Structure 1
Amino acid sequence: MIIICDPNKKKEHFPNAFLIYRALTWKLYKKNSPNVKQQNYSVATGGRWKDVPNEIRNVYTQLSIKLSEDNHVPDGFLIFRAISWETLKERYPNATIASEEWDRLPSEDKTFYIKLYEELSEATKKKKILKSKLKKQKNNNI
């Protein structure tokens, strides 16, 4: 008996918010600690993710949904908001809104966050292409 999964009936699956969190924080961490292996970092990041408040987790979820859309506009503010919590939480533990800081950023800093967004977007596109190729291969083999 062969069971065939109908791809039209599958639910839309967004990139995992934690994976985006790990990817963004890895970029920042790697600059400060270039000798740490990504595997060790991933384990430590998993522990830190548990302490991330729901408000910030929602930012990463928004990012994951937005990155899964085909025609999305790069949103540097979402990246900034997510990262600013991680980098500023020690100095400002009660801060939750990053929009005032975003408005004060020089344009070249905003461009940095937009580029990070685009890098994440490209990685998501590559995964989509690989998945579609795998689906085609499976369908051809049936």
Structure 2
Amino acid sequence: MKVSHCMTTDVQIADPEQTLRDVALIMGRLDAGVLPVSENDRLVGMITDRDIAIRGVAEGKGPEAKVRDVMSIKVRYCFDDEDVEDVLHNMGDLQIRRLPVLNRDKRLVGIISLGDLATKSEATETGKALSGISQRGGEHSQTAH
């Protein structure tokens, strides 16, 4: 199965100049924990509710701080024509629960989460990915900077 069959296509995008307050309100309204960050029609980062809490609030940044001050700039992604099994394996290795989905022109076309994959793919592969994701630490740990 291809990623395009499992991904969410209705994705809200944040701007690096938006405030943490604005992005937190959007996340609350969408019941989402992550937003891709785009500038000049290109994906430049990801911001999570955890980024806001750990790199924002915990480091003394207020609600008027900019997204660019706390977002993750090292963005991992997948392509919409990739096989779900490969993406699940990659998510487990990278310890990532969500990935932006790009087309081959490198334009954002969706986002895929472990939850999307769990409901639409093979349970064994999803379990393996979750096992890898759930390991302590990793490249995307908030303390790995």
- Please say whether Structure 1 and Structure 2 have the same fold, judged by a TM-score greater than 0.5: no
Select the structure that is richer in helix: 1
Select the structure that is richer in strand: 2
What TM-score do the two structures reach when normalised by structure 2? 0.29
